[in-house]
Amino acid sequence: MSPSTLPSWPPSLSAEQHEYLLLLASTYALSHGFILLPPKSSSPPTHTFAAPLSLFPTPFPRQLYDFAREIQPIYNALYARVALDWEFLDRVMGGSVSKVDTFQGELWRGWRQVREELVQPIQLGIFRSDYLLHSTSTKSDMELKQVEFNTIAASFGALSQRAGEMHRYLASATDQYFGVSSYLEEESSYPHNESLEQIGAGLAEGFKAYGKKDAAVLFVVQDGERNVFDQRWLEYELLERHGIRVIRHTFSELANLAQIDRTTKTLLLPSPFLPNAAPTEIAVIYYRSAYTPSDYPSSSEWTTRLLLERSRAIKCPSMALQLAGAKKIQQVLCEPGVLEDFLLSEDRPDVGFGHGSGSLSQADVDKLRETWIGLWPMDDSEYGREAYHLATTQPERFVLKPQREGGGNNIYRTDIPSALEALAKADRAPGEPEKKEGYILMELITPPQGLHNWLVKGGESKARKADVVSELGVYGVMLFGDEEVVLNRGAGTLLRTKGRESDEGGVAIGKFCLCEICVPFG
């Protein structure tokens, strides 16, 4: 059983201890690359600051932490099977969502345009399943509830590992945090997290599956990226541990550089710095952009995305796997019988655990459903009409989610009725569904009360004590084809902690802090 309450936190420090701890944390972060670029940074950059951090690790129930890690390979297998089911993707994403959501519509139509031309059956997924603790007055124990499943640009794997290393250093340098709490004195309070190494190893496995030692990995990145060090650590990991070179380009740069060999469909990139050198062959395309409409300011970016999709390079993710991560897919999977069909049907491709580690079972289905909370469509179905009634009569219980990644797009609580009213008044083309059908309704997860921590916003030299909410992310890596699994495993964890007053936020804008997990109880 998981605990019903979290321990009193954080432990008390003297003013001198607090200042010393803040100094140690800040200097460790700066000297170990646990950093971000400031807004509007110069090129090349001349200044950085420590990534948002917490002075203490954050307590999390051991049983639920272990459970989240245990089920990650099942989630990996589920979303791989979704990506391979073209008929399902067409029905769900090619329906009303593609008609009312311009971005998802472009993604689905682009994928449909090129999918019969695809020459690379292998797909690489670097996933992250995000959870919150859920505690209600009607239940004595905390539960683990999934917020979302990310199939593209699942970030902070490298910096999360650095956060854990920082907290282990702080414990060592302060005699286990000055001996102020028994929770900080056990080795198990600082679980080893090797998300950087494991995500890097997943990219290396994709490179190996491609089979060309003189090829490279392409990172497709955003202009003005502030979270560049999280990406650079992966680049250095690939080069130093695996001997794999990384090339970084934005969509706008690739529009002028990317070439595909007409015969082999090999993706080739000439060097803008060595015009007489032979172009570099690309084995794996790893997207750290391409997940938001602002990444496609013109038709040129979509043209480039389709060019890359047609190539023989292994995509991380493919367009199909990106579509599988949409909020609408998450909602439909919750409908009766859908999850069972994907995990238990004998007609599905044998994309399970891989390496002969066993098939999927009813127990696996039950474990995933245990992490779900109420999800409804916003269409004219029976479920959709129920959702509309709930959203307009009990809005304080819900969040309205569009098909977007990256945070900052959701509509919460009492803002929902007016938002639905505005969507109903929005202009529609003849035959176009209502705009609300591009959204899903999700029951709000209720994090337990009373947990605090000292948070340090990036670029600031002081900490503030805040009532906090922590979101656990579990990374997964999966390399799979139409009929086989090469690799399926968990790949470390991420804990992001923010002040309870903030519904939305991100690490890069200072609302979330990166923490190591403290799991000494339960």
Annotated binding residues for ATP, written as ranges, equal 148, 327, 401-410, 412, 442-445, 471, 498, 504
Alpha-carbon separation of residue 308 from 293, 304, 385 (angstroms): 18, 6, 41
Q: CA-based angle 265:270:273, to the nearest 5?
A: 170
User: Do 171 and 184 form a contact (C-beta atoms < 8 A)?
Assistant: yes
**Helices (DSSP H) in 174-298: which residue ranges?**
175-178, 195-210, 228-242, 251-257
HEC profile for 230-255?
Answer: HHHHHHHHHHHHHCCCEEEECHHHHH
Measured on CA atoms in the order 488, 494, 495, 497, is the torsion positive or negative? negative
Q: Would you call 345 a catalytic residue per the annotation?
A: no
Rg (CA), the chain: 23
Catalytic position from the list 145, 312, 435, 496: 496
Catalytic position from the list 69, 162, 315, 401: 401
Mode of pairing for the β-strands spanning 464-480 and 452-456: antiparallel
| Residue 61 in tokens | 């129930």
Q: Would you call 128 a catalytic residue per the annotation?
A: yes
Catalytic position from the list 62, 69, 99, 128: 128
Binding site listing: 128, 148, 150, 152-155, 225-227, 231, 288-291, 327, 401-410, 412, 442-445, 471, 496, 498, 504, 507-508
Q: Which residues of 48-85 are buried (b: 16+ CB within 10 A; e: fewer)?
A: bbbbbbbbbbbbbbbbbbebbbebbbbbbbbbbbbbbb
Q: Would you call 465 a catalytic residue per the annotation?
A: no
**Alpha carbon distance 18, 24 (integer Å):** 10
**Alpha carbon distance 327, 409 (integer Å):** 12
Q: Would you call 401 a catalytic residue per the annotation?
A: yes
Catalytic position from the list 165, 281, 405, 516: 405
Catalytic position from the list 62, 81, 99, 327: 327
Binding site listing for substrate: 128, 152-155, 225-227, 231, 288-291, 496, 507-508
Q: Would you call 256 a catalytic residue per the annotation?
A: no
Q: What does the DSSP 8-state code read for residue 96?
A: I
Q: Would you call 327 a catalytic residue per the annotation?
A: yes
Q: CA-based angle 229:232:235, to the nearest 5?
A: 160
SS3 state at 354 = coil
Binding site listing for Mg(2+): 148, 150, 405
Q: Would you call 112 a catalytic residue per the annotation?
A: no
The kind and range of the H/E element at 464 are strand 464-480
Catalytic position from the list 406, 459, 481, 506: 406
Residue positions counted in the chain: 522
Q: Would you call 483 a catalytic residue per the annotation?
A: no
Catalytic position from the list 150, 160, 193, 311: 150
Catalytic position from the list 143, 148, 165, 237: 148
- DSSP E strands: which ranges in 90-220? 123-134, 143-150, 216-220
Catalytic position from the list 96, 155, 189, 311: 155
Whether omega for the bond prior to residue 520 falls within 30 degrees of 0, making it cis, is no
Q: Would you call 91 a catalytic residue per the annotation?
A: no
Query: Hey, which residues are catalytic here?
Result: 128, 148, 150, 155, 327, 401, 405-406, 496
